Amino acid sequence: MIFNDNPQCSSYLSKLPTGWTWTVLDSLVDHNRGICYGIVQPGSHHADGVPMVNTGDVFDGHVNKLVSFKVAQSIHQKFKRSTLKGGELLITLVGANFGRVAIAPHTYAGFNCSRAVGVVPVNVDAQYVMFALRSPISRRFMDDHANTTAQPTFNLKDVAAIPIPLPPESERRRISEFLVDLDDRIALLRETNTTLESIAQAMFKSWFMDFDPVRAKQEGREPEGMEADTAALFPDSFEESELGLVPKGWRIDSIYAAAQVIYGAPFASSKFNSEGVGKPLIRIRDLKGETPRVFTQEVHPKGYLVKPGDIVVGMDGEFRAYLWGGEDAWLNQRVCVFTPSSEFPPAFVHRSIIPILAAVEASETATTVIHLGKNDIDRFRILVPDGEVLSAFGEITGPIYNKIVEQKQMARTLCGLRDTLLPRLISGQLRLPEAEALVEEAAA
C-alpha cells in the first residue's frame, strides 16, 4: 500500500527531508502473519493457563512486567495467530486509552492477547515504528478514525493505514537509539524512586509499626542495623494505649498534632483552559501522573498553591497520599494537602496517613463514588513517638524524600522534552545533534 495513493491518509502528508518517504504501517508488516487482534471471549482466569496481555498491561513504551490474567489452553489454541513470539508491536484498540503502543518483550513468547489489543509483527525496526506511532501525526490519525459511538474503538483496517514517516535506515536506527536511551533514563529515575520509597516505607514500618528497636531492647538485644546513639533513643518496654501496646512514653494523638490539613478551593470550571494560560490546577485525576491538564487565570481567595514535596490526597473514588513532584499548581476542591508541623518529618506524616486512608476507603460501602470528608480526617489518630526519635527518623528520611522529589522533577522535565522532540525527530524537522544537546542541557 503506497501512502500517496491512499486518500484516507492524504490529509496527513507533509514535507519530509530528502531521502525520507511516507508510508503506512501495513507496508512494514510481516504479511506471513499479518496484523491481528487476540482472544475475543477469554472466559474466567485459569491459574495454570496462558498469560493474556490486556489493554491495562500496555503503556506507551512498555508492557507490564507481570501479566496477571491467564486463559485456558483450549481457548488459547483457538487464537494461535495472536500468540506472541516477542518483538511485535502491541497497540490498544478499545477504551479511553486506545492507541497506546509498546513492544512485546521476548520473555512474553507464548503469551496471547485480548481482543482489545492489536498485534503488529513489523519487519522494520520495531523501536522506530513504535516511536512513530507515538507521534502527533499518527495520534491525530487514530483520533480521527476511531469509532466513538459507545467507547473509542480502533479497527485493524485503520491500524494498517496509520501514516509513518520513514527515514533512511541509518537515520532511523540513530533516532530510535536516541529515544530509547531517553526512555531508559526516565525509567531509571522512576525505578530508583520506587527503591527509595521502599526504603522509607520499610524503615517506618520497622520503627513505628513493628517496633523492632523496642522489641530488641526488651529482649536484651542490640537493634539490628542501627547505630548505638540512635538505639539509645528508643524505650525498652511497652504500655497500653487506645490502639493497643505502644512503646513506653509514646502517645496516641490526633493527626492535627503532626500536620495541618489544607482543603482545595472551588475554582470555577468555566474559567478552565487547556492552552496553558494561567497556572495549572490539580484535580483528583491529575494526582497519579502529577501532570495537571487544565489551567486557570483565576486567583481564588482560598486558593493554595501546591509545591513539590507536598503530601496531596484525593478525596473521591480512592484515597491515596501522593508526594507531589509536579510543578507549582493550584489545589482544586475535593483534593487536600497534609502539611507537616515543623518537628514532624514529611516521611512520618506521609507514611502515617497511608494505612488510615486505606482503612477509611475499605470501610466505605457507597454504591457509587466513595468520599473522604473533613469529619473522617478529624477522626484520624496516629502514634506520636518521642521527639528525639522523630528527629532521628527525619535526618535519615529527609534526604530520601528530597531525592525522590528531585528525581520526579527530572523525570518530568525529560518526559516533556521527549514529547517535544519526538514529533520533530520523527518528521525530520530536528536533527539528532540538536536533540542530544537539548537533553544534556536539561539533565545538567
* Average pLDDT score over residue span 370-374: 93
Q: Please determine, for residue 237, whether its predicted confidence score (pLDDT) is greater than 90.
A: yes
* Average pLDDT score over residue span 325-342: 97
In this prediction the pTM is: 0.86
Percent of the chain with pLDDT over 90: 80
pLDDT value of position 150: 75
Q: Band of the pLDDT at 10, cuts 50, 70, 90?
A: low
* Average pLDDT score over residue span 21-47: 94
Q: Please determine, for residue 314, whether its predicted confidence score (pLDDT) is greater than 90.
A: yes
pLDDT value of position 139: 87
Do 347 and 400 meet the contact criterion of CB atoms below 8 Å apart?
A: yes
Q: What rounded mean pLDDT belongs to the chain?
A: 93
Do 203 and 393 meet the contact criterion of CB atoms below 8 Å apart?
A: yes
pLDDT value of position 137: 82
Q: Which residues are CB-neighbours of 110 under 8 A, at least 6 positions away?
A: 50, 83, 84
* Average pLDDT score over residue span 229-242: 96
Q: Which CATH superfamily is domain 255-384 in?
A: DNA methylase specificity domains (3.90.220.20)
Q: Please determine, for residue 12, whether its predicted confidence score (pLDDT) is greater than 80.
A: no
The closest alpha carbon to 19, from 171, 225, 227, 178, belongs to: 171
Lowest mean pLDDT among 279-283, 404-408, 415-419: 415-419
Architecture in CATH of 3-166: Alpha-Beta Complex (3.90)
* Average pLDDT score over residue span 305-315: 97
Range(s) for CATH 3.90.220.20 in the chain?
3-166, 255-384
* Average pLDDT score over residue span 416-425: 91
Q: Which residues are CB-neighbours of 208 under 8 A, at least 6 positions away?
A: 348, 351, 352, 383, 385
Per-position b or e across 90-113, b if 16+ CB within 10 A of its CB:
bbbbbeeebbbbbbbeeebeebbb
Rounded to an integer, what distance in angstroms lies between the CA atom of residue 100 and that of residue 103? 11
Q: Which residues are CB-neighbours of 372 under 8 A, at least 6 positions away?
A: 313, 314, 315, 316, 319, 357, 360, 361
The closest alpha carbon to 238, from 226, 246, 228, 249, belongs to: 246
pLDDT value of position 30: 94
pLDDT value of position 295: 97
pLDDT in tens, 166-175: 999 999 999 9
Q: Band of the pLDDT at 1, cuts 50, 70, 90?
A: very low
C-alpha cell at 257: 498534632
pLDDT in tens, 96-133: 889 999 999 999 999 999 999 999 999 989 999 999 99
Q: Band of the pLDDT at 231, cuts 50, 70, 90?
A: very high
Lowest mean pLDDT among 55-64, 192-201, 207-216, 397-406: 55-64
Rounded to whole angstroms, what are the CA distances from 435 to 128, 138, 189, 418, 440? Answer: 16, 21, 20, 9, 9
Q: Band of the pLDDT at 367, cuts 50, 70, 90?
A: low
- 16 vs 256, more confident: 256
C-alpha cell at 337: 494537602
* Average pLDDT score over residue span 264-271: 97
Q: Please determine, for residue 14, whether its predicted confidence score (pLDDT) is greater than 80.
A: no
Distance of CA 60 to the CA centre of its chain: 11
Q: Please determine, for residue 8, whether its predicted confidence score (pLDDT) is greater than 60.
A: no
Q: Please determine, for residue 190, whether its predicted confidence score (pLDDT) is greater than 90.
A: yes
Q: Kindly state the helix (H) or strand (E) to which residue 402 belongs, with its residue range.
A: helix 387-426
pLDDT value of position 2: 44
Q: Band of the pLDDT at 365, cuts 50, 70, 90?
A: low
